[in-house]
Structure 1
């Protein structure tokens, strides 16, 4: 039966956009910049992740899941061949003769559409003979597998290499910083088209000529839109790399942890840009502010990818219940206190600067509106040494509850404190 699932593969939409722009640039250079025609375009569609319109149409489905086994992709391969190689017929619904349904026929289309499955991982046991004749006949003709070629680890370098080719053809002088900006600018634009296509269920497109013009007219410096795309990209790449680390594990515990990370990636992928930025600024990184200048280094320093895996993923996988996905906060089922995960990982300095540094961090935490609802912030290293810090912190908030402070009656809910992940996990899992 024909089933057109327009549900976007949110788990890899950042990666999907990067692959789309890279493939489009490869096609552009294959055709030749001077030989482009108006119909040549990159299409962002509601049915597949993206398509290329060259002389004919080609459709691409991108899988960013951490799996190298053919069994994980077999159904996808069969669906792509059914959908784009075989004819579709209208027949009566056997359960309701008044209705018609669409089914895949046994005849090949007069003009099959070439389909591709792009897998981040190299599929190690690929063998088309494992498919029924209906499918194996068309593998490598109307269907092709591309696995382990476009990867999270290399997609940026591959795309920049194609951008260099374009700039060299145009005779444009450029620096590595220019490549960073052009790359981020193109990916940011495609990312916006993907989000709009998915939210409205309509096809969006960029002509190849438009892509060339975007390269010519890209900003000369980072701006907020590009910068926040860069931060978002780093965040999702970190999450995908952490998901990758569970590949090959089969124990129930590890599969459960992997499933939690997959759900978070899926849910956060549904946030629009404003919501995602709010999640970072108000919840995950409430102690840091971006200044007025928007250099790559500033945006790069804003989000440390290691903290995403070392704090956020550790908290997500060690706590039994799922978080509130819009805030990544946990509510304790027994006390109803709210534990907010935050990407704060400050070691306690062993010198006289400690009080002022700690005061600055805690003041920023407290100023965020979300702080009024939070009982504890979950972090990695900032468990407070009361001997050194209690007076400093109490001078900021007289009602501040300090982690490990035996004098504080937590039942009075006197404010927020700072919890290491292990301590917070134990409290939430009781």
Structure 2
């Protein structure tokens, strides 16, 4: 691909990716609904390269030229000062492109104190992106609704069945979002392997034709199996993380904290299916992880409050994990600690309930102690001796994998303690 001048690559931050990806998908669908199929075939979208996302047109001579460049800001602040530097940065990138035909758009999740006209008067080289009904911003929750509206319109325009079927539209929204998320994960994997994020992103655009083709699949034949439900769990995991980050006011999270948390999220997204299921089971030792069908997915999949109020809080409040790419810590006494999503209180009844559930899960699923941990970190529950509290474990009918193996695993679990976040912080952050 013939490269255009690249003044500055977009800085890849996973905390903004879910909103950024959905905004990109929304704009892509707008293009699909506004253009002919031949015009659509000439366009590609580029993630995290010239800007957060960029629409480019193919040239008859080869390569692409940028048509529109888009910067996305997913923060709650309505203050103009919060965005001023970003507005100027977008203007600088537009100038460096050196083409008057390229349009630069800025997307906001929160309505600004200044109007679109006022901002564009101060920053004439860029435009504030407008949504339906002249809206100058679109929240994380609203963008998903708008995507589904555009999918329904696209199905009608291109004479594809299902525009009036909410289930079809919902499944298509998941399929289309996955096209973007898979590409971004691939780009980050290339970056992890040594390719610069700039080159990896620039050289891996997504043809808009791919999205239209995906809208034409036979939904009736789209099997809702473990692969499907795994993709939904991954999507939820990312959404919970995005919302967790957005709950903080501008300036509350330092660049160092953002970078640390982004590394974790990139890691979780990089897990292959088996490793991903092991990760889920390790952070939820009190519940069996299974999502082979809708019933299991509904009953046993991730819990939003556990992830936001416990697991992500643990990762945020404790220093970066020991051992590079994994998660977990080692204290000065050489004890191993591992984060969980256990958000039980520290009452006696809670200690008993969570201890019994951990031992039952270990018996039924033959779960290994995550990274041979001595302590599992919880939101506030402390248990020195799981066996002492789990006094009903003998009534469990567990999988017969051999008496010696079973006894070994249970013995390992009985040696594990639960420790609350505040106590763990003191031991690990000193």
Distance apart, 1:335 and its partner CA: 1.3
Distance apart, 1:301 and its partner CA: 4.6
What secondary structure sits across from 1:11 in the alignment? helix
RMSD: 4.0
Change (3 A) 1:299 1:17: farther
Query: What is the CA deviation profile of residues 56-84 of structure 1, one whole-angstrom value per residue up to 9, with x for unaligned ones?
Result: 71111222244433333333322322322
CA contact (8 A) 1:281 1:288 kept: no
Query: Aligned pairs, how many?
Result: 381
Given the alignment, which residue of 182, 186, 189 partners 1:192? Answer: 182
1:175 aligns to 2:165 (yes or no): yes
CA contact (8 A) 2:44 2:55 kept: yes
Give the Cα separation in 2 of the matches to 1:151 and 1:305.
19
Distance apart, 1:217 and its partner CA: 0.6
Change (3 A) 1:286 1:155: farther
1:157 aligns to 2:136 (yes or no): no
Q: How does 1:48-197 map to 2 (within 5 A)?
A: 48-53=51-56, 57-85=67-95, 109=99, 111-125=100-114, 136-140=123-127, 149-169=137-157, 170=159, 172-173=161-162, 175-197=165-187
Distance apart, 1:187 and its partner CA: 0.6
Q: TM-score, normalised on structure 1?
A: 0.72
Structure 1 residue aligned with 2:30: 26
What secondary structure sits across from 2:313 in the alignment? helix
Give the Cα separation in 1 of the matches to 2:223 and 2:26.
22
Structure 2 residue aligned with 1:423: 423
Q: TM-score, normalised on structure 2?
A: 0.72
Structure 1 spans left out of the alignment, 5+ residues: 89-108, 402-414
Give the Cα separation in 2 of the matches to 1:279 and 1:4.
38
Change (3 A) 1:223 1:19: farther
Deviates more, 1:282-291 or 1:226-235: 282-291
Give the Cα separation in 1 of the matches to 2:170 and 2:314.
32
1:240 aligns to 2:242 (yes or no): yes
Give the Cα separation in 2 of the matches to 1:62 and 1:53.
17
Structure 2 residue aligned with 1:312: 311
Query: What is the CA deviation profile of residues 196-253 of structure 1, one whole-angstrom value per residue up to 9, with x for unaligned ones?
Result: 34533433344444322201216523344543333233223223323222216x7xxx
Structure 2 residue aligned with 1:274: 271
Structure 2 residue aligned with 1:94: none
Give the Cα separation in 2 of the matches to 1:38 and 1:354.
55
CA contact (8 A) 2:330 2:337 kept: yes
Structure 2 residue aligned with 1:105: none
Structure 2 residue aligned with 1:339: 337
CA contact (8 A) 1:68 1:123 kept: yes
Structure 1 residue aligned with 2:61: none
Change (3 A) 1:378 1:317: same
Give the Cα separation in 1 of the matches to 2:412 and 2:227.
39
Distance apart, 1:398 and its partner CA: 4.6
Distance apart, 1:310 and its partner CA: 1.1
Structure 1 residue aligned with 2:399: none
Distance apart, 1:265 and its partner CA: 3.3
Give the Cα separation in 2 of the matches to 1:380 and 1:261.
19
1:216 aligns to 2:216 (yes or no): yes
Structure 2 residue aligned with 1:40: 43
Give the Cα separation in 2 of the matches to 1:175 and 1:37.
25
Structure 2 residue aligned with 1:263: 259
Identify, as 1 or 2, the structure richer in helix: 2
Give the Cα separation in 1 of the matches to 2:312 and 2:87.
31
Give the Cα separation in 2 of the matches to 1:128 and 1:86.
24
CA contact (8 A) 2:369 2:412 kept: no
Q: Which has the larger radius of gyration?
A: 1
CA contact (8 A) 2:291 2:300 kept: no
What secondary structure sits across from 1:377 in the alignment? strand
